[in-house]
Amino acid sequence: MELMDEIKRIAVITSGGDAPGMNAAIRSVVRSGINNGLEVFGFMRGYDGLINNDFKKLESHDVSHIIQTGGTILKTARSKEFRTKEGRKKAYANLKASKIEGLIVIGGDGSFAGATLLSKEHNFPVIGIPGTIDNDLYGTDYTIGYDTALNTVVQAVDKIRDTSSSHNRIFFVEVMGREAGFIALRSGIATGAEAILLPEVSGQLEKLKNLVSQRGNQKKSSLIIVAEGEREGNIFDIVKGLHADFPKLDMRVSILGHIQRGGSPSAYDRVTASRLGVAAVDALLNDQRSIMVGIRNNDIVHVPLKKTVKLNKSINRDLLEIVDVLV
């Protein structure tokens, strides 16, 4: 391994679920790298691209007019082969053969788990940029894509409330968050939901039954936000159980699904991605390895990748208290 002050070539990948703002991060990495005299290469489809040696050199013009686009120009995938030691060895061999001296991974906890192993097993500098709509990575207040996803949910739920009010229905709206309720919590507050079901909170079903019981046969609409990982069961089972207890009430289900991943990134996500891209390149140039660049209290921070994988990010208890007051 060459000394990091002599670094000349770096690579960037996007991995795991796509998130609005990933392209802005790619753009930032490429232009920051070029500004520092580096050659920057993009590998396609995440870790699969490393294993298959599918890459191209990225120039400044290659990342023009992408800051406003959703998805990722480098594509993304979840690589089964990279989960094996042999797969990571092949990826490392390809990086070395191309004289690439540092890797920037834009993704979530699964992507960072692979990055941690690659760095540990081959003593290779890897920097993580948090890109996931779930905002569930330890060590950073916000992840790229979270703000845009929240706004997408709010816009959709506002429209659902219109039809809910017109028909006096109870709408159960499922949002993404298989293991974390960050999207559900903030979107629920922002849309004035009557209840919010989160994976992190137990005993919510009984509270929901009480809420529906108090509503009775009143002619009014209600909105319930449900995180997809809610512990009481999937959204259809929850509604089926409630309908058995309250057969006269009109209940409907709406699953927002992958609409939350798409769309033009918000201004906040574009700026956040731009800041983190520059910070990731700076980290490589300053001999950092196996860390994530994140944002805490609006400042750039460095967090060991192994911590982002092993430690869980806690739900904001202050927001939970706000829910108790306002719902």
- 299-304 and 291-296 strand pairing: antiparallel
Per residue in 92-118, pLDDT (tens digit) is 999 999 999 999 999 999 999 999 999
Residue by residue, DSSP assigns 235-272 as HHHHHHHHHHH-TTS-EEEEE-GGGGT-SPPPHHHHHH
Which 8-state DSSP code applies to residue 68? T
Burial of 198 (0-12, 13-18, 19+ CB in 10 A): buried
As a whole number of angstroms, the distance between CA 283 and CA 289 comes to: 8
> Can you tell me whether residue 91 is helix, strand or coil?
helix
Q: What is the pLDDT of residue 44?
A: 98
Q: Which of 26-40, 79-93, 152-166 has the lowest mean pLDDT?
A: 152-166
Give the H/E segment covering residue 35: helix 22-35
Q: What is the pLDDT of residue 249?
A: 87
- 9-14 and 103-107 strand pairing: parallel
Residue 69 has pLDDT above 60, yes or no: yes
134 is catalytic: yes
- 134, 136, 141, 147: the active-site residue: 134
User: How many residues make up the chain in this entry?
Assistant: 327
CA atoms within 13 A on the CB side of 290: 15
- pTM recorded for the entire structure: 0.94
Q: What is the pLDDT of residue 220?
A: 66
Average pLDDT of 303-312? 95
Q: Which of 206-220, 245-259, 269-283 has the lowest mean pLDDT?
A: 206-220
Per residue in 128-142, pLDDT (tens digit) is 999 999 999 999 999
End-to-end alpha carbon distance in the chain? 57
Model confidence band, residue 1 (pLDDT cutoffs 50, 70, 90)? very low
Per residue in 115-128, pLDDT (tens digit) is 999 999 999 999 99
Tokens representing 44?
A: 């396609």
Model confidence band, residue 164 (pLDDT cutoffs 50, 70, 90)? confident
Q: Mean of the per-residue pLDDT values for the chain?
A: 93
Q: Which domains does the chain have, with CATH numbers?
A: 4-145+265-310 (3.40.50.450), 147-261 (3.40.50.460)
Average pLDDT of 56-66? 98
Whole-angstrom Cα Rg for the chain: 22
∠ Cα 161 232 130 (to 5°): 75
Residue 26 has pLDDT above 90, yes or no: yes
Per residue in 189-237, pLDDT (tens digit) is 999 999 999 999 888 888 888 888 876 656 566 899 999 987 777 899 9
